[in-house]
Structure 1
Amino acid sequence: MSPDTPADTHEVVNQPAPLENYNAYDADTILQYWVNKFGGGWGDEQLSRFGESVGGPLLAAGFEANKHLPEFQSHDRFGHRIDQVNYHPDYHALMKHAIKFQHTSLPWREEFPGTHVVRGALAYLHTHADPGSGCPLTMTFASVPAISVQPDVAEKWLPKVLSSEYDGRNIPWFEKAGVTIGMAMTEKQGGSDVRANATTATPVDEAGPGKLYSLVGHKWFCSAPMCDGFLVLAQTNGQLSCFLVPRWRDDGSKNPIHIQRLKNKLGNKSNASSEIEFRGAHGWLLGEEGRGVATIIQMVALTRYDCMLGSSALMAQAAKEAIWHTAGRNVFGKNLHEQPLMVNVLADLALEAEAALAISLRMSHALDNKANPDEAALVRSATAIGKYWICKRAIQHTYEAMECIGGVGYVEENVVCRLYREAPVNAIWEGSGNVQCLDLLRVLQKEPDTLDALIAELSSAKDKHAQYARALSHVLEMMEDTASLPVRARQVMEQLALCWQAATLLNYGEEWIADAFIRTRLGKQQFHQYGTLPQDIDALAIVQRAMPKAE
């Protein structure tokens, strides 16, 4: 061969195939286990059809939606203000698919048991394709109880909110078969302290529930600004009230909601988040004046629950990617996912992801049974615990999975990059960690039944594992010193979260998984990094349980 003749430098070997073109539900035996355990088995066929798209074309669509980011167009070419956000077509494909499968509507449309569980699994699976589009899907789902407060407004809007049709065009809501709902609460001067909001609302004609008001002010964060309507907090006579503010007025003119700019965010890239101004925007008052927080908190509670589902999904996908990658790669003379230390790390990641999923779908089960006062009380207390803990754990978890994959995990073609950038948003959005702690303290002080329900839930497993019983006794003792709780709230929240995960695994999960979790999370000797399981735990069996069953 001449020295000038081109030649291949090497053959690509020892690189695993990507985890793609598979059924994301059928391949996930852990998700199937928990869906069936909490009464969602009737939805297996629907979830399988959904998972087939999620692991196939929608996985590719997620990459495109995150590569070609939303763009803000303030005016059309003739100078008319349109306040339009233009998305890549694959973003609309993701939205259309999720809404068709009732991601936003299933529990509100069907009344038989397990609808929240199946819908929770839909949301969990959709996150595998694209977490960003999950934001407007979550808000649309969560808006229903708040809109229902005002029957005359609900009569017009809920049939479209609950529709399985998606229409992403910038046209009046009443011309669409289906609509999406966003939310705008946060202002520059207040952040989580919404009572510091300065936006004002005055009656257009007459005041009162269901009447039109004119809103003037700004919002520092308005996610998914192309939604058809927004739940908004504004001051009426010095009191916070809640309004449904549409993008278009009933006369077909554009409601003056002016987008100032889109946020340039760390993650959640496919979803547009914006700053907006209301310049006399019309909106319907939901409920009585001054009842704004009580109205919108119904939406916030469900979006926090979806933060649990979303972060659980990030961890599950990260663990699966790490396990799948290491199963197809050899180092130092043997398969990487058979190297003892790597197995330990992978098993630890799988344990964390399953415990997160377990309490998330336990919350779905409680929502399915809210007619039971104890289950309703558990929702009010445990949502803050789950949101606080799972969303924080996802950040370190997704990084550790990236490290398992190595250098190729740090490049944008690998989905784990997106998972890592996505992880912080759920910990911040809908109330940061401190807000969750304060909310739990407020609920436990003002609603004693919620504390009783929480303790009953945790105590139901105390006779099943001695080490768990000791941990539970310890956290209950921690809660007795109420005077110092505001300072120690994070300590208590962490221990409550671990005990709740352990109790859920003991009551509903596999005994050996529960034992492994308790021994490594509630034992005397605890470590701060993943991959520190004791040598007598069957780490390989845990990894094999979590391995995606994809061909």
Structure 2
Amino acid sequence: MPHDVVNQPPPRTDLDEYAINTALVEGVERHDATWAHHRLHLTGQRVGTASFQRDAEHANRREPELHTHDRYGHRIDEVEYDDSYHRIIGAAVADGAHTGAYVEPMPGANVARAAAFMLYAQVEPGHACPVSMTHAVVPVLQQHGETAWLARTLSTSYDPALGADKRSALFGMAMTEKQGGSDVRSNTTTATPIGEGRYLLNGHKWFCSAPMSDAFLVLAQAPGGLSCFLLPRTLDDGSRNGIRIRRLKDKLGNRANASSEVEYEDAVTTLVGEEGRGVRTIIDMVARTRLDCVLGSTAGMRQATAEAAWHARHRSAFGRALIDQPAMTAVVADLQLETEAATATALRLARAHDDDASDEEIAFRRLATAVSKYWICKRGPGHAYEALECLGGNGYTESFPLAMRYREQPVMAVWEGSGNVIALDVLRVLSRDGDSLAAFDAEVARAAGVDSRLDARIRRTRELAREVASDPQPDATARRLVGALALTLQGALLVRHAPHAVADAFCATRLSGDAYDGALYGALPRAVDAAAIAARA
């Protein structure tokens, strides 16, 4: 017989996801992007609709499909996406979540763009990959005079079809090969010059994400060494370039986005930068995509925390709402603490990428972006799991979004350098660039004298940095240092800017001598104002 459904949360839809994300709104205001409030409210309302969330679900269930040939046998190498994916990425591009910071390069421009990017990635993360790569390629195009491609990337129109006459463009990148992975200097793909700055590429890439992008930056071995090239999908006459998609990767998560293995057969490319300086040329793109890894992980944390808090507020057990039961209050509060710290860090980094950044800001971001990418992205999967558990059995089903999020979060830690790669990059920055550590230290020192626990952590981190610097084999302790730097930065930002309840709880749980530093969520000290923190979730 039919029965009434009671004590189940209502759908979490038709909300302004920007307005209800208190930490995000505060960060936008703090970092000079108040001028973007109106448009961010519109974005928040858009991604909060039931239809947008339905598109997000469909895009991850109706996965991209590779078509190597058309029905007549012609080679086409196309990936077909569900219409829901095109609606999502089209909306993100229209809102400037890809290159909006470059169109209006005023103070706070990267903060506004970061907020828009996170709002979209909070609900559907797969499309964020090509959006991020398009954002990240702009500095490279600017530096090397690629004005025609630059104009296309700045467009807010989206056209999924391939063609040389398009007025807009999305970019991808392809660096790694099967024999080397992160060791890109072992690449074997060759680039043969054919005149007028053009080369023919032959070889392969083990990972090429978003293969339907209009163009890619790729690395290949030219006569002068490893070099960077701009590789269009279609040639000027409209014909397809020599890019062969061999297969799509069957991934743990990131299902809405296609990632592929590709081979190049006399693919026509243009040299970007100088021969032999490919890594140096493409590194600006890598740095920006690492920033977006931080943004993407933070967006995932926000979704996870918001879903957990929504469930806890609308479901009762043992005579009262879950959120009012101290054990659940503590878990939601701890999830929110992690989200607050990530949000504060992400927006601080975004502000440091604005055009008005001083030399000190640029030095700060060189170190802080890698440090934050390491820590925040690694915190994502465990955070998603804990939030999933708050929903009980519902959380473990595909009918709710946290199963998707749990699978999604690890990609941010893997993409653009997994843990050891990032930790070693931090060591290289510290050994070659004393200005970066000085700028980082100056940033955290601004919070000194307010909380004794933070002060003690700053001292310990400085000591650890000196120990690592004098260690003849620092690799073994690199991860410890990077984690210490990340927590110190997060603590400093929250002590300076967050409500007292948030800053106090972070210092008590992450910075104190007996802090758990990554233990299970919800084990908060009694003195923590868990209810006040959970209210911000």
Shorter-chain TM range is over 0.9
**What does residue 499 of structure 1 align with?**
488
For 2:527 and 2:147, locate their aligned partners in 1 and report how far apart those are by CA, in whole Å. 60
Aligned-residue sequence identity (percent) comes to 47
Question: Normalization by structure 1: what TM-score?
Answer: 0.95
Worse-superposed segment, 507-516 or 440-449: 507-516
- Of 13, 20, 23, the residue aligned with 2:16 is 23
- Of 348, 357, 363, the residue aligned with 1:371 is 357
1:23-66 deviations in Å (ceiling 9; x for gaps) = 21122222111111111111010001111110113222111111
**What does residue 544 of structure 1 align with?**
535
Give 2:43's aligned amino acid.
F
**What does residue 48 of structure 1 align with?**
41
Q: Aligned-pair distance for 1:212?
A: 0.9
Cα RMSD, aligned residues only: 1.1
After superposition, the Cα gap between the structure-2 partners of 1:370 and 1:438, relative to the gap in structure 1 and judged at 3 Å, is farther
Q: Aligned-pair distance for 1:413?
A: 1.0
- Of 278, 287, 308, the residue aligned with 2:264 is 278
The aligned length equals 531
**What does residue 396 of structure 1 align with?**
382
Q: Aligned-pair distance for 1:75?
A: 0.6
1:196-238 deviations in Å (ceiling 9; x for gaps) = 11111011125xxxx1110000000000000000000001125
Question: Normalization by structure 2: what TM-score?
Answer: 0.97
After superposition, the Cα gap between the structure-2 partners of 1:371 and 1:365, relative to the gap in structure 1 and judged at 3 Å, is closer
Q: Secondary structure at the match of 1:289?
A: coil
- Of 178, 190, 195, the residue aligned with 2:180 is 190
Match status 1:145 vs 2:107:
no
1:503-542 deviations in Å (ceiling 9; x for gaps) = 1112222233112111110112123110011111110111
Match status 1:129 vs 2:115:
no
1:457-502 deviations in Å (ceiling 9; x for gaps) = 1112111111111111011111112214311111111111100001
Give 1:160's aligned amino acid.
R
Q: Would the aligned equivalents of 2:501 and 2:528 in 1 still touch at CA under 8 Å? A: no
**What does residue 381 of structure 1 align with?**
367
**What does residue 477 of structure 1 align with?**
463
Give the alignment of 1:81-92 within 5 angstroms: 81-92=75-86
Match status 1:156 vs 2:148:
yes
Which runs of no fewer than 5 residues in structure 2 stay unpaired?
none
Give 2:433's aligned amino acid.
E
For 1:238 and 1:111, locate their aligned partners in 2 and report how far apart those are by CA, in whole Å. 36
Q: Secondary structure at the match of 1:245?
A: strand
Q: Would the aligned equivalents of 1:186 and 1:219 in 2 still touch at CA under 8 Å? A: yes
- Of 325, 331, 348, the residue aligned with 1:345 is 331
- Of 416, 430, 441, the residue aligned with 1:444 is 430
Match status 1:465 vs 2:451:
yes
Give 2:173's aligned amino acid.
M
Q: Secondary structure at the match of 1:519?
A: helix
- Of 508, 511, 528, the residue aligned with 1:522 is 511
For 1:87 and 1:278, locate their aligned partners in 2 and report how far apart those are by CA, in whole Å. 23
For 2:306 and 2:195, locate their aligned partners in 1 and report how far apart those are by CA, in whole Å. 57
- Of 263, 286, 301, the residue aligned with 2:287 is 301
Match status 1:168 vs 2:160:
yes
Q: Would the aligned equivalents of 1:149 and 1:286 in 2 still touch at CA under 8 Å? A: no
Worse-superposed segment, 109-118 or 265-274: 109-118
**What does residue 549 of structure 1 align with?**
none
Q: Secondary structure at the match of 1:19?
A: coil
Q: Secondary structure at the match of 1:300?
A: helix
Q: Aligned-pair distance for 1:98?
A: 0.7
Q: Would the aligned equivalents of 1:369 and 1:375 in 2 still touch at CA under 8 Å? A: no
**What does residue 4 of structure 1 align with?**
none
For 1:51 and 1:42, locate their aligned partners in 2 and report how far apart those are by CA, in whole Å. 15
For 2:412 and 2:439, locate their aligned partners in 1 and report how far apart those are by CA, in whole Å. 26
Q: Aligned-pair distance for 1:260?
A: 0.1
**What does residue 39 of structure 1 align with?**
32
Match status 1:531 vs 2:525:
no
Q: Aligned-pair distance for 1:445?
A: 0.8
Match status 1:325 vs 2:318:
no
Give 1:71's aligned amino acid.
E
Q: Would the aligned equivalents of 2:501 and 2:533 in 1 still touch at CA under 8 Å? A: no
For 1:375 and 1:115, locate their aligned partners in 2 and report how far apart those are by CA, in whole Å. 15
**What does residue 229 of structure 1 align with?**
215
